Amino acid sequence: MDVEITDALYDATKAEIQKALDLGCRTFYFGGYGDFDDLCYKIVTDIKEKSPELGIQRIYCVAHERYLRKGAPYFRAENYDAVIYLEPDFTGWSKSIYYRNCAMIDKSDLVIFYAEERENSGAYKAYKYAKRKKGKLLVNLWQM
């Protein structure tokens, strides 16, 4: 998803990531798609490099191992601390991304979104999924 990364969005995202760290979050899951994901990755990486004592882990989540074998330009294993496969029972590309996102939400206590309220938005569908889950802290920076 194309997102205009403004100074305000950068600052709000950094503040929410800092709040997550203050709550004890140390594992951050990434799907590797989109401008907002890239922004979060950059902020988390900057904090990890400046404060290695925090023990931050950047985890790349992929729906199917075969997508990594294609040499995707957005993925470099050395940029992450681990790769996990959240493999759904089907092969459709768009559905596998949605279910991978749902699996990342299931593994998370806190989820930071940039999800415009559009029914055809994958981020918004994932946000609606997360809202149905009990005990999840959710932040949608699109609403800022």
The predicted model gives 75-91 an average pLDDT of 76
Exposed (0-12), middle (13-18) or buried (19+): which is 51, by Cβ within 10 Å? exposed
SS3 1: coil
Distance set, CA 91 to CA 65, 84, 94 (Å): 11, 17, 9
Which pLDDT score is estimated for 63?
73
Q: What is the mean pLDDT of the chain?
A: 86
6-22 pLDDT, tens per residue? 999 999 999 999 999 99
Mean pLDDT of 111-118: 93
Percent of the chain with pLDDT strictly greater than 90:
53
List phi, psi (to 5°) of 72. Answer: -55, 130
Residue 122 is predicted with a pLDDT of 84
Least confident of 59-68, 103-112, 123-132: 59-68
How is residue 20 written in tokens? 């997550």
Q: How confident is the model at residue 127 (pLDDT cuts 50, 70, 90)?
A: very high
33 has pLDDT over 90: no
Task: Please report the domains of the chain, with CATH numbers, ordered by start residue.
Answer: 7-143 (3.40.50.450)
- Residue whose pair of structure tokens reads 């092969």 in the numeric block: 91
Report whether 111 contacts 130 (CB < 8 A).
yes
The residue among 3 and 45 whose pLDDT is bigger is 45
Query: What secondary structure letter does DSSP report for 81?
Result: S
